[in-house]
Amino acid sequence: MENTFSLNDKVIMKKQHACGTNLWVITRVGVDIKLKCDNCGREIMMDRLEFQKKLKKVLKDEENKKEK
Ligand SMILES: [Zn+2]
């Protein structure tokens, strides 16, 4: 399965956060990926490989699709 993601995308992770949601927003894309919990606002960082492993789904905004 291929997942493409970019800044400000909303993503659903396989594991839910301690606050009970699994919806996150990508706030930084680099060597590491930074995610902000959509519910409680907590930010976490993980490397791309870990992110890809834990990622369940990217919620794409159709209008943002071609942005790079
Ligand atoms: Zn949270």
DSSP 15: S
Q: Which residues have beta carbons under 5 A from ligand 1 (an ion)?
A: 17, 19, 37, 39-40, 42
Task: Quote the CA–CA distance of 3 and 29 in Å, as a whole number.
Answer: 14
Residue percentage of the chain with pLDDT more than 90: 76
pLDDT band at 36 (very low <50, low <70, confident <90, very high): very high
Task: Using the mean position of ligand 1's atoms as its centre, give its distance from the Cα of residue 36 in Å.
Answer: 8
Record the pTM.
0.82
Give 44 Cα–ligand 1 centroid separation in angstroms.
10
| Phi-psi category of residue 41: left, alpha or beta, with phi > 0 → left and psi -120 to 50 → alpha | left
Closest CA to 4 of 45, 55, 43: 55
* Structure confidence at residue 4 (pLDDT): 87
